[in-house]
């Protein structure tokens, strides 16, 4: 096998949450280009159909399943679709997640727990559903969790999101220990990446500040994350598990200036 062949995913099947746009869509397309068929879930069918069309243009199959990851029966339906339509699961990407910056004093316990459930609970539930199916249908597999630099670098107004992503990174390492050697579990600590979600808060001034605070001098692109997800899922990373791959432009602190609770900026 040549060195580049080890990045191929021919004959494999990936299940990807939050795949209607942004990073999830980018990963679906990267996996398809590498030879995989994909089962894609998100809440908006039109978004999924657009991604499916691009996957099929690459000569691969795409199974669309409208999915709200907060509903466990819908997570089960997503996994069942992979087994029923394509007969196996080799890879799971837990991409669905997110939560806007919010001061801790304006974040209720209920809201905090919702952020945690959305970013960690859903990934845990999907991993528990898919891992036995991977082993049963493919003899093993790979899970890639989309975490965040916010889970490693504390900053004001990220108590809910940062704590949730920090927990997701630790969950990655915990499951890697438990599921080895059959299923590898890794994560990507994503930095500020150009997606529709980020674009909703970007102004020219905010973007300039973020770029200036990023050592690599630019924001991330979806393809940057997709390439990391391809590596982690592929045979090229067959000896890698429990890793949190930093794809964040070299950030040692978050590149967003946020107010402290009692004055000043963090």
Sites in the chain below the pLDDT cut of 70: none
| Per-residue pLDDT, 194 | 85
CATH class of 4-243: alpha beta
For 159-217, how does the pLDDT look when each residue is reduced to its tens digit (9 = 90+)?
A: 999 999 999 999 999 999 999 999 999 999 999 898 877 777 778 888 898 999 999 99
Task: Supply the pLDDT for residue 257.
Answer: 81
Which of 31, 124, 161, 231 is an active site residue? 161
**Domain parsing of the chain, residue ranges:** 4-243
Tally helices (H) and strands (E) across the chain.
9, 7
Instruction: Supply the pLDDT for residue 73.
Output: 98
Q: Kindly report the backbone phi and psi dihedral angles of residue 108, in degrees, each rounded to the nearest multiple of 5, phi listed first.
A: -70, 165
Active site residue 161: yes
Tokens for 205, please give them. Answer: 């001034």
Q: Can you give the pLDDT at residue 132?
A: 98
Q: What is the pLDDT of residue 206?
A: 84
Please list, in sequence order, all residues whose beta carbon lies within 8 angstroms of the beta carbon of residue 205, skipping any fewer than 6 positions away.
none
Contact between 191 and 153 (Cβ < 8 Å) = no
SS (H, E, C) 92-144: EEECCCCCCCCCHHHCCHHHHHHHHHHHHHHHHHHHHHHHHHHHHHHCCEEEE
Average pLDDT, the chain: 95
């Amino acid at each position: 096998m040549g060195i580049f062949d080890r990045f191929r995913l021919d004959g494999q099947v990936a299940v990807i949450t939050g795949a209607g746009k942004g990073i999830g869509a980018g990963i679906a397309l990267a996996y398809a280009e590498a030879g995989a068929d994909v089962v894609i879930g998100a809440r908006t069918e039109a978004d999924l159909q657009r991604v499916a069309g691009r996957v099929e243009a690459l000569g691969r199959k795409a199974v669309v399943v409208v999915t709200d990851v907060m509903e466990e029966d819908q997570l089960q339906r997503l996994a069942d679709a992979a087994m029923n339509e394509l007969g196996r699961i080799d890879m799971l990407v837990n991409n669905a997640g997110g939560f806007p910056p919010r001061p801790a004093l304006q974040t209720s316990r209920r809201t905090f727990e919702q952020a945690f459930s959305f970013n960690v609970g859903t990934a845990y539930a999907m991993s528990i559903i898919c891992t036995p199916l991977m082993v049963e249908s493919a003899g093993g597999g790979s899970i890639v969790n989309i975490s965040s630099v916010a889970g490693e670098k504390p900053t004001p107004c990220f108590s809910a999101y940062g704590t949730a992503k920090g927990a997701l990174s630790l969950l990655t390492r915990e499951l890697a220990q438990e599921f080895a050697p059959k299923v590898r579990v890794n994560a990507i600590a994503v930095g500020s990446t150009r997606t529709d979600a980020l674009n909703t808060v970007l102004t020219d001034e905010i973007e300039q500040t973020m770029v200036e605070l990023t050592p690599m001098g630019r924001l991330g692109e979806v393809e940057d994350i997709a390439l990391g997800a391809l590596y982690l899922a592929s045979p090229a990373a067959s000896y890698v598990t429990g890793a949190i791959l930093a794809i964040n432009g070299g950030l040692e602190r978050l590149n967003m200036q946020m107010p402290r609770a009692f004055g000043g900026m963090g």
